[in-house]
Structure 1
Amino acid sequence: MISVIVPCFNEEEAIPLFFAEMEKIRKKVSHQFEYIFINDGSKDRTLEVLRDLSCTNKFVRYISFSRNFGKEAALYAGLQACEGDLVTVMDVDLQDPPELLPQMIEMIEISDIDCVGTRRSNRKGEPLIRNLFAKAFYHLINRISETEMVDGARDYRLMTRQMVDAVLELTEHNRFSKGLFSWVGFKTEYLSYENKERVAGKTSWSFWELFNYSIDGIINFSDVPLNIASFVGAFSCFISGVAMVFIIFRALLFGDPTAGWPSLVTIILFIGGVQLLCIGIIGKYIGKIFMETKKRPLYIVQETEKEVNRKVDLK
């Protein structure tokens, strides 16, 4: 059986389109399917659409959160709930091409790989600034982290049960799935495809949210920013020490002809800025530690298809 995990946030228009396309694929393969939609605190009619879909198709399941917990929590909930021998994660907006799924299934079945991932060969249609920042992120993270992340890689992938169980063992609160999928290891091959536009609705990812998400990825998989903060602090101390010796010798040899208050203020502001930068980096790591120590659940379930089906049966 293949489990299809689909996070949803305000996707009432896209869900029927996605399901129709996936049903075409399901009928072409010999495997059983189960769909697990995760309603991540949607404000539109996403939950109603999922209820109707589940009532008319017994192989459609859903999990509805009590509020918006984010895509990472939705992915984790889906992985916990799935029962398939093979598990795929897909976006509901059809930017992850369903037509690749049969090829992904075949690749896993005829070889010894544990995962078939997908990556975009280009980012046509995306804003230039987002494209540049994305390339810069992958270049940076692969330079400072031991966990390799493929440029353009999507969450869309097909995994064996063994790999899914390994990912579920990582119970950390601060999650970055692209990094977690790479960190657990297992042999992975990638399929490339042309970038596709959304079929309906609007993306819930703003540039600022993507930027913060990339910062979380760097912090979750590298301690290099802390090393940079330490280096900057040591370098500032060294430069300050050299400047102090120079000023003392100049005063002893030539006196102190100028007051120098503008340069002094500039130096103080510069050193203060460096200190605040380093404190901010350290504070970001401490904040992550703080969230981990709370041991709060990643998500809270308000409703699943089981409760609705039970009510229908009682009637």
Structure 2
Amino acid sequence: MRTISLIVPCYNEEQSINIFYDAVAKVFESINKDTERYQPEYLFVNDGSSDKTLPILKELQQAHPATVHYLSFSRNFGKESALACGLDASTGDLVAVMDVDLQDPPELLPKMINLIENEGYDCVGTIQKERRGQGRIRAFLSSRFYGVIDAISEVRIEPNARDYRLMTREMVDTVTSLPEYNRFSKGIFAWVGYKTTYLTYESQPRAAGTSHWSMMQLINYAIDGIVDFSDVPLRIATWIGGISCILAALGFIFVFVRALAVGDPVAGWPSIVSIILLLGGIQLFSLGILGEYIGKIYLESKHRPKYIVKEKK
């Protein structure tokens, strides 16, 4: 019998855990209807929840000690750290990453298993057709983000790709071998390569609760993804600085020639102040881009762990 590890990050998801377990258990009953081929290994990662997530995980583990396991962080480290922890702890022949809110339909698992076992794929990812329940602004920014990162990154990241995917042990071992502290999983999964295909599905409503991602968190996540997988922003800052210098030199030449020809420099302090503010803004913008990359280097140089597991079972 082959084992499938299911990595499930949880942050204040007390209402969704049992619903998720029951739904996935039904899928495995269907998969093993004729013959028991696959055994699930549930790896719930409690990312510093402040509600009853951990007590519920303990109860679920006690009820199903052979298949359910949990790892609880000492504080909230973020979803990327929870994914890394789950991948590190997984032991299955195949490894799936899923959201506990059931927006990732577990009914796709049989098809994903078939594509890996019979079609020779190393990874089967998922793409959400549309994002129901999201505001138009958030949906627009999300689509623009994928367009931007696809244009400037050295690897292709599928638009609207979810974290929900099934991978072989070989691919997971490669992903976990990457030592970086700053992680953008969608980019890492694409960067390591391997034969990958995608399944498309209609967006699903949350099984319970509400999303914990604010607009600012999503924007910061997008910035992390761009900085982690492209140095194009640094090049843009370089080009902006170079063009500004050229324009400043041309402006100086114009003022000098005009002074020689007319005998009086161009008057007007408002225009001068505007130019100074423009150049100052460009400089601060470029420094901000540079600071993002320096900040990433600073965090990497500390060699701190990506997460701290306080309790596990």
TM-score interval, smaller chain: over 0.9
Match of 1:313 in 2: none
- Note if 1:288 corresponds to 2:292: no
Aligned residue type for 1:43: S
What secondary structure does 1:198 align onto? Answer: coil
Q: Please tell me the residue identity of whatever aligns with 1:25.
A: V
Note the residue ranges of structure 1 that are not aligned, 5 or more in a row. Answer: 306-315
Q: Secondary structure at the match of 2:300?
A: helix
Partner Cα distance (1:273, 1:263) in 2:
15
> Which amino acid letter does the alignment assign opposite residue 252 of structure 1?
L
The alpha carbon displacement at 1:199 in A equals: 1.3
Compute the displacement of 1:65 (Å).
0.2
- Mapping of residues 22-37 of structure 1, within 5 Å: 22-29=24-31, 30-37=37-44
Aligned with 1:32: secondary structure?
strand
Measure, in 2, the Cα distance between the counterparts of 1:267 and 1:158. Answer: 54
Deviations 1:35-84 (A, max 9, x none): 00000000000000000000010210000000000000000000010100
1:147 maps onto 2:155 in alignment: yes
Residue aligning to 1:304: 312
Identity %: 55
Q: Which position in structure 2 is the counterpart of 1:99?
A: 107
1:124 CA displacement: 2.6
Using the TM superposition, give the Cα deviation of residue 183 of structure 1 relative to its aligned residue in structure 2, in angstroms. 0.2
Matched, 1:255 2:263: yes
1:49 to 49, 56, 65: 56
Query: 1:239-276 deviations in whole A, cap 9, x for unaligned?
Result: 00001000000010012265321100000000000000
In 1, Cα distance between equivalents of 2:144 and 2:213:
18
- Structure 1 runs of 4+ with >6 Å offset: none
Q: Distance in 2 between matches of 1:146 and 1:245?
A: 41
Contiguous gaps of at least 5 residues in structure 2: 32-36
Name which of 227, 236, 243 aligns with 1:228. Answer: 236
Indicate the SS of the match to 1:28: helix
Q: Give the distance between the partners of 1:257 and 1:143, measured in 2 at CA.
A: 45
After TM superposition, the structure 1 = structure 2 runs for residues 1-315 of structure 1, keeping only pairs within 5 Å, are: 1-29=3-31, 30-58=37-65, 59-256=67-264, 258-305=266-313
Q: Tell me by how many angstroms 1:125 deviates.
A: 2.3
Aligned residues: 305
**Which TM-score applies when normalising by structure 2?**
0.96
Q: Secondary structure at the match of 1:159?
A: strand
Alignment partners' CA distance in 2, 1:287 and 1:257: 44
